[in-house]
Amino acid sequence: MMHFQRWKIILIVAVLAIGTLLAVPNLFPREALDKLPGWMPKGQITLGLDLQGGSHLLYQVETDEVIKHQLDDLADGIRQTLANPRVGYQNLRIAGNAVELKLTDPAQFEDAKERIRSIAVGMEFSSADDGSIRVLMTDQAIRARKVQVIAQSIEIVRNRIDETGVREPTIVRQGDDRILIQLPGVRDPEAIKNLIGTTAQMSFRFVDESVSSDQIASGNLPPGDELLPSTEMGPDGTPLRHYVVQKRIMVSGESLTDAQATFQDAQPVVSFRFDSIGAKRFGDATRDNVGRLFAIVLDNKVISAPVIRDAITGGSGVISGSFTTQSANELAILLRGGALPAPLTVLEERSVGAELGADSIAAGKIASVMGLVLICVALLLTYGLFGVFANIALVFNFVLLLGAMSLLQATLTLPGIAGMVLSLGMAVDANVLIHERIREEVRAGRSPINALDAGYRSASGTIMDSNLTVIISAVFLYLFGSGTVKGFAVTLIIGTVVSMFTAVMVARLFTVMWVRRARPQRLPI
């Protein structure tokens, strides 16, 4: 145990050098690091919400709206499937979690049932001899759909926030239908809230120009039309105009594969591209309807309604309107991230000030430095020269911990600082085990070399076992915890691994180098 091969020495020195190099960028401001050559390490530890301040948002996902929309789509699908060839029915309505109707012609009963079954996949179907049909969305199907909506909403929110450049956001599910979002460094969350809260359901539909102004004024619109406002607002905050738009969606935003903010004729616009299916539908719709107004609808508001001049068959196009550079970029982000499956409602919003974060950082620094200094003094007074070796290893332990967290771009929170201090204590624990074992061997009359060898050999197994149990516990904290609990777990895992390396390898290396040079007759311990 007291013999070090050359390659082991080189490996230990290399690890210490690399760890120090990775930790150094934390001593400099970000602006200074950006001026350094690209090959130099520039990673820094990211401060969490409680240290650098930021925004905390709690959203409610309106999953009931999704279920209602799905039932509305089912009712509309039944209406369309029974239209051609015509099947007579009456009292088509939504009752609770079911769609009900009654057929008027018993001779068409079997045909109607087969058609409805074909579109009511995964739903409970029942019928009666009087022609009544009921399609029920079961509780199990509703729960599965809500779980899917929450997961999809979290993914879309994450994509939208990532596009803004916010570093290390926390986006997790809370409860059955809520999403917790923490944004470190974001002082004014309004822009983020606008980005997150927009459903971004885009569709391309035709404008019905046959509807007269009298029909619009009276609200007597054709069954397949609806009146939608434009996104352009007047000085009084009301829409400048309204469009009568067909409810039938020619191409939906789900077919979009890319959207980018760009310029056309020196004006900000948003260019978009469809997948192969969307490109075909878009091309067919524009080829067959040259001269008609084609409305681009986003969340039930018309962005623009250009006239189709020619067939657009390339699968791409441009959305123009009264955009600013910022609004064009925000729309492109929304379209790239995809549409939210359900509306989001803000339940809780709070901001953590930078002053509170600065106080936490100062307190954390004081705690870390005081802990390190007191531990070093205790080791020095208790073990003398061997305490010096342990202190050197302890300093490298702290440096390697910072380097590892910088390499992993880990987020440091206040509990994370507690994890760092705790890992320092565990590093001391390993040194205490080794040195007390060496003392026992010296008291037993062993020679210095034998005492050192037996001390490290006997204590290494105990150190490995105790630290392994800590790592296992921290892993479970990371897997089942959230937010700051994960930050504590990460720093504790990294600190424990580093402490094993510095106590068993680094401190032992310094001890071996001293023994080879001094050749002591007795150990000063």
What pTM value is reported for the model? 0.59
Residue 524 lies in a domain: no
Distance of CA 45 to the CA centre of its chain: 18
Q: CATH code at 181? A: 3.30.1360.200
pLDDT of residue 456: 85
378/492 same-domain check = yes
43/81 same-domain check = no
Walk along the chain (525 residues) and give the pLDDT tens digit of each residue: 556 778 888 999 999 999 999 888 888 777 777 777 777 777 788 777 777 777 888 899 888 888 887 888 788 778 878 877 788 888 888 888 888 888 888 778 888 888 888 887 778 888 887 888 888 888 888 888 888 888 888 888 887 787 777 766 788 888 888 998 888 777 667 777 777 777 777 788 999 988 888 888 888 888 778 899 988 887 877 888 889 998 888 887 777 778 888 888 888 888 888 887 788 888 888 888 888 888 888 878 888 888 888 887 777 878 777 778 887 887 787 777 666 778 888 888 877 665 555 676 677 778 778 877 888 888 888 888 888 888 888 889 889 988 888 888 777 777 877 888 788 777 788 888 888 888 888 888 888 888 888 888 888 888 888 889 989 998 998 888 766 777 788 888 888 888 888 888 888 888 888 888 888 888 887
DSSP per residue, 278-347: HHHHHHHHHHTTTTSBEEEEETTEEEE--B--S---SSEEEE-SS--HHHHHHHHHHHHH---SS-EEEE
User: Which of 392, 401, 406 shows the shortest CA–CA distance to 419?
Assistant: 401
331/425 same-domain check = no
Q: What are phi and psi of 120, to 5 degrees?
A: -100, 55
187/231 same-domain check = yes
Residue 183 lies in a domain: yes
484/442 same-domain check = yes
Q: Look at residue 230 and give its three-state secondary structure.
A: strand
Count: domains in the chain: 3
22/99 same-domain check = no
Structural domain range at position 92: 63-142
User: Which of 387, 406, 388 shows the shortest CA–CA distance to 398?
Assistant: 406
Q: Look at residue 251 and give its three-state secondary structure.
A: strand
Q: CATH code at 138? A: 3.30.1240
| Domain stop point among 142, 160, 190 | 142
In this structure, the dihedral spanned by the alpha carbons of residues 267, 272, 278 and 284, taken in order and rounded to 10 degrees, is 30
263/377 same-domain check = no
Residue 366 lies in a domain: yes
pLDDT of residue 18: 92
List residues bridging with 268 in a β-sheet.
Answer: 263
Residue 473 lies in a domain: yes
328/179 same-domain check = yes
318/209 same-domain check = yes
pLDDT of residue 353: 65
| Domain stop point among 102, 120, 142 | 142
pLDDT of residue 15: 92
Residue 525 lies in a domain: no
159/99 same-domain check = no
pLDDT of residue 354: 58
387/335 same-domain check = no
416/498 same-domain check = yes
Residue 1 lies in a domain: no
Q: CATH code at 409? A: 1.20.1640.10
| Domain stop point among 142, 160, 184 | 142
pLDDT of residue 472: 92
Query: What tokens were used for 390?
Result: 């342990």
Scored b (16 or more CB within 10 A) or e, 153-165 reads: bbebbeebbebbe
